[in-house]
Amino acid sequence: MVLKGRPPVSAVVITYNEEGNIQRCLESLHWVDEIVLVDSESKDKTVEIAREFTDRIFSRRWPGSFSSQRNFGMAQAKGDWVLILDADERVTPEAQKEISTWLKSLEAMSYAAAQVPRRNFFFGKWLRFGEAYPDLQWRLLKKGKVCYDEQTSDTALIDGPCKLLSEPFDHFTGDGIADRIRKSWRDADYKAKEMLVAKRNAHWSDILFRPVATFIKIYLIKQGFRDGMEGYLYSALASFYTFIRYVKLWVLARG
């Protein structure tokens, strides 16, 4: 059975210096009832561009984790459901249709959250192997039924049953190798700080062996080689990210 209308949906987007991505991201959210943008004191034109799409913009100093920013954003949302989106992601027309149709169904009323697959584009190519797809993400959350664990990244604490949707979002990982390295450096810094808070430590064996293990897992075991040169570069950069993450954790743990 289908209801007459879907419940209100609020989109929550976390940003920091995303002037190159934010317009296309917010354009893909034209169908939601509200856009809440939580900006971590960007130094570029991110907020200026975002004002063309929403007046629900909150400037909040980076608290140390995406989870904390997302919890804050969800607390500001007015909709019955919250759609989480990163600035470098887009909601495809197919995903929009699936979400809207599902939310109108009686089935959706008994669920607390839904996972969405994500297509990762690397140097313009959709990566189908090496753990790059389906890359399931918690993106559609019922207000009051879900929060993020602020000690970890993207760990959703869900009070109720979950749905797996089939239509993917698109994720654009950067326009070039420099963008990828900058993003890896930034994300490794965030992750190392989260690991430190969780009382994790880094030993010489982590720094030496984990990057190699990451490359073998993604490129060979998960068949990243089937994506050609893009698959090789994706695997190599994932290995680099692992190396930087544990080096940063080692440095932080030493004070």
- Closest Cα to residue 11, out of 109, 120, 91? 91
Tokens standing for residue 10: 């609020």
- Long-range CB contacts (within 8 A, 24+) of 207-212: 207/243, 207/246, 207/247, 207/250, 210/242, 210/243, 210/246, 211/239, 211/240, 211/242, 211/243, 211/246, 212/239
According to the model, what pLDDT value does residue 254 have? 84
What torsion do the CA atoms of 95, 9, 109, 145 make, to the nearest 10 degrees? 110
Question: Nearest CA to 13 among 61, 78, 82?
Answer: 82
Q: State the Cα angle at 58 between 114 and 40, rounded to 5°.
A: 85
Mean pLDDT split into 10-residue runs, the chain, 255 residues? 74 94 96 96 95 96 86 95 96 97 92 96 92 93 90 79 96 80 84 82 92 97 96 94 94 86
Closest alpha carbon to 67 in 84, 55, 50: 84
pTM of the model: 0.87
Alpha-carbon distance of 168 to 130, in angstroms, equals 17
Using DSSP's 3-state secondary structure scheme, residue 25 falls into helix
Structure confidence at residue 2 (pLDDT): 44
Site of tokens 């799409």: 53
Cα separation, 99 vs 6, whole angstroms: 10
What is the pLDDT, as a whole number, of residue 124?
87
Closest CA to 194 of 240, 252, 238: 252
Nearest to 9 by CA among 73, 72, 80: 80
At residue 152, the pLDDT reads 66
- For 181, other C-beta atoms within 10 Å of its C-beta total 15
